[in-house]
Amino acid sequence: MIQSVAFIGLGAMGYRMAAHLPKHFDTVYVWNRNFAKAEQHAAEYGTQAVELAQAVQADIIFSCLPTSTEVENLIAQVQLKAGSVWVDCTSGVPESAKKLVQQLEAQQIDFLDAPVSGQTIGAENATLTVMIGGKATAFEKALPAIQAFGKVIQHVGEPGAGFAVKAVNNMLMAVSLCAAAEGFTTLKAHGVNLNQALQCINASSGKSAVTEMILPQRVLNRAFPKTFALPLLAKDTGIALDLVREAALPAPVLALTQSLIQAANLTAEKDSDFSTAVKMYELWSNITLE
């Protein structure tokens, strides 16, 4: 029985994910580095904004931070309770998950890597996909809390497996994003109306999440809403490429895509949405995707 849950890291994802927990649990602690956000969350959703030391006394502790480095640093600062499960929803590094599992095992604490996909709208609607690596017993224990914001929830394997699936997923999305930017600048160069082209492609075999959602909702309308930062996508493609290298596999498409996303990130304005990666192609081609 879960008596208490906590959520650490109330960013674009965490703020919305944590909002669902009070519907299912009486005691929901929240903590954020900028503590005003935790207080705002408490006022808005009936959670309890508490010090980090108290938040980590919950039975299930969620975290959603930019990278595994911030998660490792936080865990190193706190005293955890035996029997609890730390569920890390960060898009993190598989090796870090393996290390944390071993480190926490000695204190009888379980660690699950549980990254999510579905964007901020999925967090808001509790329709996230959650891909989980770690011990089956810990997964079963944490599942009722994960169900508060997850719709498709899969235990995908050993520690690090969840982070690996997430990194590859985001790499595949990045491949589609770069390919779509190349395809659509080409169509515009040939005088084709991009909205009409999109309608055809989305009813054909070239469609992807990029053509179905990202081009119409972020690029062609020039909205570029800031919901998933480009540096975070660059981080994810880097994690995926590290996995390729660790397995000593050839993956030229993924390697090139990682370089392209890295280049887009280095040349983008600070705090840009990931969809602004297409602006690099716009600059190269002198064509605007609208």
Q: Where do contacts with ligand NDP occur on this chain (CB under 6 A)?
A: 9-14, 32-34, 37, 64-66, 70, 74, 90-91, 116-117, 119-120, 227-228, 232
Please state whether beta strands 85-88 and 60-63 pair in parallel, antiparallel, or not at all (unpaired).
parallel
Q: Provide the 3-class DSSP secondary structure of residue 173.
A: helix
Residue 278 beta carbon to ligand NDP: minimum distance, rounded to whole angstroms: 17
Residue 43 beta carbon to ligand NDP: minimum distance, rounded to whole angstroms: 16
The CA distances from residue 251 to 96, 242, 244, 248, in Å, are 23, 11, 7, 9
Nearer to ligand NDP, 69 or 195 (CB): 69
Residues in Cβ contact with 154 at an 8 Å cutoff, skipping those fewer than 6 apart: 129, 130, 131, 132
| Beta partners for residue 226, in sequence order | none
Shortest Cβ contact with ligand NDP: which residue? 11
Active site annotation includes 279: no
Nearer to ligand NDP, 146 or 194 (CB): 146
Nearer to ligand NDP, 115 or 134 (CB): 115
Structure tokens at 82: 């035996």
| Beta partners for residue 153, in sequence order | 130
Residue 193 beta carbon to ligand NDP: minimum distance, rounded to whole angstroms: 30
Nearer to ligand NDP, 120 or 202 (CB): 120
Whole-number Å distance between alpha carbons of 39 and 35: 6
Closest of 179, 256, 167, 258 to residue 211, by C-alpha? 179
Catalytic residue among 37, 98, 141, 166: 166
Residue 246 beta carbon to ligand NDP: minimum distance, rounded to whole angstroms: 20
Q: Which residues are catalytic?
A: 166
